[in-house]
Amino acid sequence: MARVAMVAGEASSDQLAAHLITALKLHLPEAKFYGIGGPKMQREGFDSLWPAEKLAVRGYAEVLRHYPAITRMRRQLLRRLLRDRPDVFIGVDGSDFNLWLEKRLKRCGIPTIHFVSPSIWAWRRNRMSKIIQSVSHILALYPFEPALYRDTAVRCSYVGHPLADVIPLDIDQRVVRERLGVPLERPVVTLMPGSRQSELHFMAETFVETAKLLLARYPGVQFLVPLVSRETRVQFETALWKLKADELPFTLMFGHATDAIAASDAVLVASGTATLETALVGRPMVIAYKMSPWSWRLMRGMRYLPWVGLPNILAGRYVVPEFLQDDATPDNLAQALGNLLVDRQARAAISRVFQGIHRLLRQDTAQKAADAVLPYLQKA
């Protein structure tokens, strides 16, 4: 029986890994999958030895605060994997956690696959030597990434992005609004302040203040807020109460992010995978991000590209506005969203760019990733 160890600590990683597990089980129905993973992986039969939420922290300051617990968990997992010796280890994103683990497993003869290339094209390029020491095979989501590994010992396969396979190429806004009970004639803005509690800590109030300003300028606006967990919903509700906005037209949703995006005319979104989901649905957006001042100072000096949002990176230019840290003020965000609401031609032009990105990333990712992993399991 094939044994596949995996670590996926983020909500987006959980989804990537779940799709891969599904594809691998079509070929190896008796395979055992275990390690650290989230609810989507567990629904596919994954045995999670620790809660994935323990890894869902971002920013240097936040990681340092949780570092002792994360380090202890990682060493315990390493001992378990060296004792059990899986046929392959797959680290899904989370390079700071997974590369350390992969280096030690690879040194002991266990093949290591990293699903999602570390973003060395964007920042911290000095990680390449660490990747070469740690990884046997990279599964890359973006078409420009294999060239980065061409002159190294690391194999790299472009597999596309699974969201591009899951999200239809065209979604009828009217149909989605009818399903959600959203009035067809009202302008709709979706707010996506992040999937992590640490993100809402820094952004929930800014998003609410932005909505208040936007509503004052466009009184008919309806706001949809898809949230991924009970904890993040409580954080957002607390921000609404604190800013006396709990009676304004906010509809809070558990999940259903794709529907919320599809129903919208514009989206205010925290930088991350949600920006790609918004682009794949074809809706214009404003990208915002905040973190602790110390984390920001450290990360700002490590960037190589002028953009942080995935849609802009994939397009190679500013398609949608980005407001980071001190620039992510309610005034700036409300102005940018208002521009999108009133400019139908701009929205249409952005949607055309996003459709091209969608077609480029639509590669049947789960099957391509499984095809890359299966030779390691068949050798075993």
Residue-wise pLDDT for 239-291, tens only, equals 989 999 888 899 999 889 999 999 999 999 998 889 999 999 999 999 998 87
| Alpha carbon distance 155, 163 (integer Å) | 23
Q: Say whether pTM exceeds 0.95.
A: no
What pLDDT shows up at residue 47?
A: 95
What pLDDT shows up at residue 10?
A: 80
Do 3-160+363-379 and 173-361 show the same overall fold? yes
pLDDT beyond 60 at 194? yes
Amino acid at 78: L
Residues 6+ apart with CB under 8 A from 79: none
CA distances from 168 to 217, 321, 341, 351 (A): 33, 25, 24, 14
Highest mean pLDDT among 41-55, 230-244, 301-315: 230-244
Local confidence band at 13 (pLDDT 50, 70, 90 cut-offs): confident
What pLDDT shows up at residue 67?
A: 65
> Among residues of the chain, what percentage have pLDDT more than 70?
92
Tell me: domain 3-160+363-379, CATH 3.40.50.740, correct?
no
Local confidence band at 305 (pLDDT 50, 70, 90 cut-offs): low
| Alpha carbon distance 149, 188 (integer Å) | 43
| Alpha carbon distance 215, 21 (integer Å) | 44
With contact defined as beta carbons under 8 Å apart, do 322 and 307 qualify?
Answer: yes
| Alpha carbon distance 203, 334 (integer Å) | 14
Q: Stretch 78-93: mean pLDDT, rounded?
A: 95
Helix segments in 160-222, DSSP class H? 162-166, 173-180, 197-217
Highest mean pLDDT among 143-152, 309-318, 333-342: 333-342
Maximum separation of any 2 CA atoms in the chain, in Å: 63
| Alpha carbon distance 77, 104 (integer Å) | 12
| Alpha carbon distance 17, 113 (integer Å) | 12
The fold of the 173-361 domain, in CATH, is: Rossmann fold (3.40.50)
